[in-house]
């Protein structure tokens, strides 16, 4: 894994130190800045480029959400906050993950694995997908092709210009953004419920005001701008 420059922004000293200590366990995570306020982080970003931002939400002055809006060009954003009710809003800002405080190392490690997956996807220039007739999609990486049955896909997840096809046993990647993929007639059975997610109605077990529960206890957040769509799923 290539070295990735990271910043950590949190007004709580103990929380900052915890994230720093966890991040240092991964040699490819290079901490280039630790900040108490969004303003100081934005000042640093005026002259520096980073790959990952670990952000708190509630801070004096500008919030972590405001910081993300002004630094949307950062490829990977992870919010770390005790305000779990803000999770849905953060995913509207191209957030890769949301960690709820307090947390321990295994949860942070899970996030790092997600970051590794995302970076790997971004760097695979040869990755693309092609489809053929019937209930089948062929996902191609290099010289290998994997056959994926459409009816086995539980949901679609957007990762920048890529889309993850999630089945019960595996996650497959295609080089196509979620919006483009949903325009393909093969994916018309999927309904977009969030900027980053689309689901199949037949796999929905429960719908609440902020999330959808799919089979296997999978939880998908509901985007604010998709409330009308959700009403049509009930």
Tell me the pLDDT tens digit for each residue of 185-210.
888 889 999 988 999 888 888 888 88
Please tell me whether the overall predicted TM-score, pTM, comes out greater than 0.75 for this model: no
| pLDDT score recorded for residue 142 | 58
Reported confidence tier of residue 132, pLDDT bands at 50, 70, 90: very low
Domain spanning 128-233, CATH class: mainly beta
User: Structural domain boundaries of the chain?
Assistant: 4-122, 128-233
Question: Is the pLDDT score of 140 beyond 80?
Answer: no
CB of 8 closer than 8 Å to CB of 54: yes
Whole-number average pLDDT of the chain: 86
Residue with tokens 């049955």: 149
Whole-angstrom Cα Rg for the chain: 19
| pLDDT score recorded for residue 119 | 83
Helix (H) or strand (E) holding 30: strand 29-35
| pLDDT score recorded for residue 125 | 38
CB of 181 closer than 8 Å to CB of 156: yes
The phi and psi torsions of 30 (rounded to 5 degrees) equal: -100, 110
Average pLDDT of span 53-68: 95
**What is the fold, at CATH topology level, of the domain defined by 4-122?**
Rossmann fold (3.40.50)
């Amino acid at each position: 894994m290539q070295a990735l420059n990271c910043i950590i922004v949190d007004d709580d000293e103990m929380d900052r130190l915890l994230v720093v200590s966890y991040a240092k366990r991964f040699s490819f995570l290079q901490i280039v800045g630790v900040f108490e306020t969004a303003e100081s982080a934005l000042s640093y970003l005026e002259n520096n480029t980073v790959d990952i931002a670990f952000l708190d939400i509630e801070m004096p002055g500008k919030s972590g959400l405001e910081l993300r809006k002004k630094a949307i060009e950062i490829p990977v954003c992870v919010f770390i906050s005790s305000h779990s009710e803000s999770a849905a809003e953060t995913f509207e800002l191209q957030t890769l993950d949301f960690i709820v405080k307090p947390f321990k190392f295994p949860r942070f490690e899970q996030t790092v694995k997600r970051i590794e997956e995302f970076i790997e996807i971004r760097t695979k220039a040869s990755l693309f997908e092609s489809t053929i007739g019937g209930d089948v999609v062929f996902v191609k990486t290099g010289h290998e092709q994997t056959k994926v049955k459409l009816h086995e896909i539980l949901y679609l997840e957007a990762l920048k210009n890529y889309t993850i096809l999630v089945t019960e046993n595996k996650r497959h990647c295609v080089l196509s953004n979620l919006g483009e993929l949903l325009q393909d007639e093969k994916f018309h059975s999927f309904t977009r419920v969030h900027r980053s997610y689309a689901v199949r109605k037949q796999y929905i077990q429960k719908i609440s005001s902020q999330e959808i529960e799919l089979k296997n206890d999978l939880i998908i957040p509901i985007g604010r701008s998709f409330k009308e769509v959700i009403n049509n799923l009930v």
